[in-house]
Amino acid sequence: MKNILVLGAGMVGSAIVKDLAQDFEVNVIDRDDKNLGQFSNYSSVNAKSGDVSNFEFLLKESGDADLIICAVPGSIGFETLERIIRCGKNVVDISFFDKDPFELDKLAKENNITAVVDCGVAPGMSNLILGYQNSKMDIESFHCMVGGLPFKKIWPFHYKAPFSPADVLEEYTRPARLRVNGEVIVKPALSDVEIVEFKNAGELESFNTDGLRTLLTTMKIPNMTEKTLRYPGHAEYMKVLRETGFFNKDEIDIEGQKVSPISLTSKLLFPIWKLGKSEPEFTALKLIISGKENGISKKYTYELFDEYDKETDISSMARTTGYTCTATARLILNGKFNRKGICPPEFVGAEPGCYEFVLSELNKRNVVYNIL
C-alpha cells in the first residue's frame, strides 16, 4: 500500500487525512496535539507532533512517502513547499501562499518533482475546469465568483471564517489583478461590488479579490475576473475598517507599546468570526466561460452549492477544498498525471482524462459541479 505524508491537520488537512486513509497509509504531522487526537480511531493513520520548518526532521519523516500533501498555513507555505521539493517528493499543495510558485519551477524540474499548487476549490477546481475548457475551445472570457459563508447571518459582519481571519483580511488588502481586453489591470480589493442571486443562498454580493493568481501567467484569455462572495453589506464594513487603518501591518505606538493594527484586528475578529463546531455553512461558486468551440460561439456555466456534511461532521469548505486535493493526489499516485515542475491545476485539467477523473471523485463525495 502506498504511503502519504500530510503536513497540517487543521480543518482542511484533517478532512484530507480522513479521505486518503480509506485507500492509503497516511502519516500526518502537526504542531498541535489536539489536532492529532482526532485520528485515534483510524488504523491506517499515524499521527505525530513536529515542526516541519526543521528540514532534517522533514527529510527523515518523508523518507517512505510516495507523496506529500502540504496543508500548512499560507504564511509558511512557500518555504515548506521548497523544503518538500528538496526532499525529492511529489507534492500537492493547498497552503495558498502569496509568493509566485513558479519561482520554484526550476528546482522542481531539477529534482524531477511533480508539484501541484493552489489545489483547492478556487483557486483550484476553478483552474482545473478552465484548463480543461481551454484545451477544447478558444476562450474569450472567464469569470469566477466564489465564497464560503455560514447559513446564519449574525450582525454586524454576517460572516464566519472557516480559516484564520488573518488570511481573510489578506484578501481584503491585496490589490486585485484582472485582465480586461488583453491587459492586466489592478483594482483595489473589495471594489466593483455587485449583487448576484444564488439558488439556495439568495442574494449575495461579489467584489474583486486577487484570486486569478497563476492564471495571469498560464492563460492568454483576454478577459478574466475573480470575485469573492459575501452577504450584502459585508464589503462596506471591511472598507471602513481598511480605510481607517485597522488592516495596516506597520506597527504603531500606543502608550509606549508597539502594536500591529492588523494583528490586533485579527485577534479581535477571531472569536467573532470563528466557525462553530458543527455550524452549518456552505460554499457557493459560479464559473462563466465564453468563447468559440469549433468556430461556434459557446458559453459554459459551472455552479456549485455545497453544504456542511452532518454525517461526517466535515465543513463544506474542507470538503470542496480537501477533496479536490485528494482527487489530484490519486491522479499522481495512479500515474495519470506526471508533468514535472510547478503545476497549477489548469495544467492538470488540460491533461487528457484528468478533468473527468477529478469530477468523478468529487461526485462520489457528493461535491457536485452542475454544468449549464
- Measured CA to CA, the distance from residue 2 to residue 350 in angstroms comes to 26
pLDDT (0 to 100) of residue 165: 76
Cβ neighbours for 118, distance < 8 A, ≥ 6 positions apart: 93, 94, 96, 101, 124, 127, 213, 214, 344, 345
Report the amino acid identity of residue 93. Answer: D
Q: Which residue do the cell numbers 459541479 mark?
A: 369
The cell for 42 is 483510524
Under 8 Å between Cβ of 285 and 304: yes
pLDDT (0 to 100) of residue 179: 98
pLDDT (0 to 100) of residue 329: 98
φ, ψ of residue 72 in degrees (nearest 5): -85, 165
Domain ranges of the chain: 3-120+317-371, 125-307
- Measured CA to CA, the distance from residue 66 to residue 64 in angstroms comes to 7
pLDDT (0 to 100) of residue 1: 85
- Measured CA to CA, the distance from residue 353 to residue 131 in angstroms comes to 12
Report the amino acid identity of residue 49. Answer: S
Q: Which residue do the cell numbers 518523508 mark?
A: 62
Show the DSSP H helices in 192-260 as ranges. 215-218, 234-244
- Measured CA to CA, the distance from residue 154 to residue 158 in angstroms comes to 5
Q: Confirm whether pTM is higher than 0.75.
A: yes
pLDDT (0 to 100) of residue 36: 92
Report the amino acid identity of residue 299. Answer: K
In angstroms, what is the C-alpha Rg of the chain? 20
Beta strands in the chain (DSSP E): 3-7, 25-30, 45-49, 67-70, 91-93, 114-116, 138-150, 176-180, 183-187, 194-198, 202-208, 223-230, 252-254, 257-259, 281-293, 296-307, 341-343, 369-371
Under 8 Å between Cβ of 83 and 349: no
pLDDT (0 to 100) of residue 277: 80
**Hey, what CATH class is 125-307 in?**
alpha beta
Find the angle CA(262)-CA(264)-CA(266) to the nearest 5 degrees: 65
- Measured CA to CA, the distance from residue 93 to residue 336 in angstroms comes to 18
The cell for 260 is 500591529
Cβ neighbours for 370, distance < 8 A, ≥ 6 positions apart: 302, 303, 304
Secondary structure class of 348 (helix, strand, coil): helix
Superfamily designation of domain 3-120+317-371: NAD(P)-binding Rossmann-like Domain (3.40.50.720)
pLDDT (0 to 100) of residue 29: 97
Give the C-alpha distances (Å, rounded to integers) separating 296 from 131, 140, 162, 291. Answer: 19, 12, 41, 8
pLDDT (0 to 100) of residue 276: 83
- Measured CA to CA, the distance from residue 9 to residue 83 in angstroms comes to 18
- Measured CA to CA, the distance from residue 233 to residue 180 in angstroms comes to 27
Per-residue pLDDT of the chain (372 residues; tens, 9 = 90+): 899 999 999 999 999 999 999 999 999 999 988 889 999 889 999 999 999 999 999 999 999 999 999 999 888 999 999 999 999 999 999 999 989 999 999 999 999 999 999 999 999 999 999 999 999 999 999 999 999 999 999 999 999 986 677 778 988 999 999 999 999 999 999 999 999 999 889 999 999 999 999 999 999 999 999 999 999 999 999 999 999 999 999 999 999 999 999 999 999 998 999 888 889 999 999 999 999 999 999 999 999 999 999 999 999 999 999 999 999 999 999 999 999 999 999 999 999 999 999 999 999 999 999 999
CA 157 distance to own-chain centroid: 22
Q: Peptide bond preceding 165: is omega within 30 degrees of 0, i.e. cis?
A: no
pLDDT (0 to 100) of residue 199: 85
